[in-house]
Amino acid sequence: METGGGAGGGLEDEAAQREREWEEAAEAVAYDSCTWPPPVVAVCGPGNSGKSAFSRLLLNTLITRYRKVGYLDIDVGQPEFTPPGFVSLHILEQQSRDLTILYLRNPNRCFFFGDVCAKRNPKLLLTYIFRLYDYFLKEFYCFREVDNPKKSAIPLVINTSGWVKGTGLHVLTEMLKYESPTHVIRVSTTVEHKNLPGGTFWMYQYDEDPPVNLVEIRAAHNSPRHLLVKKEARIIRDLRLIAYFRQCLPKDSNIFCFDDLVQGFVSIQPFQLRLSKVHVIDVHCQV
């Protein structure tokens, strides 16, 4: 009994230590005196390492200081606020009270990539990412109107994919080159071969090192307990799709799975329009 209690106590101590490590990293990004202009932070690491959980913690910490924070979600497989297959930009003004709840938000701007993996068309995915980032710079990263709260610069958090090998690493590298974040959070696991390369791996060997702050944090598989949601990719994607299409059905509908969703749509009486009410207007010279 004593041995079991000691082991449990050791795990709790380790969890508490990692929780403090995460909180200190988030506060260092948000309250560092050198973070003007506001930080642009890329959170990177292998899948199921806690990137999304840390991103949510960082968002809450940044909102405390800046009141408004941008969130660029480029993880098409497990996005934070949209159904799978989307690349999206969100502007957040309220903290998440429960960081373990997954929920949908209407993005400020988004693109439908149409796949949960970048492998088939990484060039198109990068095009969408760059367009959203350029839009953020134009609309929300302004320095000429510092007295106008609607136009002043706000920080940006970039949630990246957990695919950090092969094509996934290529997409991440090109994104970091283009967006030149002020901070890169490198989440690492105990399995070294699954981790990202060390240092500023996205820069060429002879390039001048960019003014970037590299922050190393350990992956948290069981901690921080109040932040981390264990993800099974397929289940999470299904839940997000169901939640998205659930919005089209009456609020009192009981939807728990795809079969319920299909039955819900089947039960809705389709809109009917008499053919005599349809007017066809020819706007072409030749048909």
What is the secondary structure of the chain as a DSSP string? Answer: -HHHHHHHHHHHHHHHHHHHHHHHHHHHHHH-TT--SPPEEEEE-STTSSHHHHHHHHHHHHHHHHS-EEEEE--SSS-SSS-TTEEEEEEE-S--S-TT-------SEEEE---S-STT-HHHHHHHHHHHHHHHHHHH-BSTTTT-TTTB---EEEEPPS--STHHHHHHHHHHHHH--SEEEEEE-S-GGGSPPSSSTTS-TTSPPPS-EEEEEE--SS-STTT-----HHHHHHHHHHHHHHTTS-TT----SHHHHHHHHHTSPPP---GGG------SS--
Q: Which domain holds residue 148?
A: 9-230
**What average pLDDT does this structure show over 20-45?**
86
Q: Mean pLDDT of all residues in the chain? A: 82
- Look at the chain and report how many structural domains it folds into: 1
Q: Is 1 a member of any domain?
A: no
In a domain, 254, yes or no: no
Region 34-42: what's the mean pLDDT?
83
Q: What are the pLDDT digits (tens) for 201-255?
A: 888 765 665 678 888 898 865 444 444 444 567 777 888 888 888 888 888 888 8
Q: What is the mean pLDDT of residues 131-148?
A: 82
pLDDT tens digits along 91-100: 999 887 665 5
Report pLDDT for 7: 54
- Has residue 146 been placed in a domain? yes
Q: Is residue 275 part of a domain?
A: no
Predicted TM-score (pTM) above 0.75? yes
Q: How confident is the model at residue 147 (pLDDT cuts 50, 70, 90)?
A: low
The domain spanning residue 120 has which CATH number? Answer: 3.40.50.300
- Residue 74's pLDDT is 94
The pLDDT assigned to 222 comes to 45
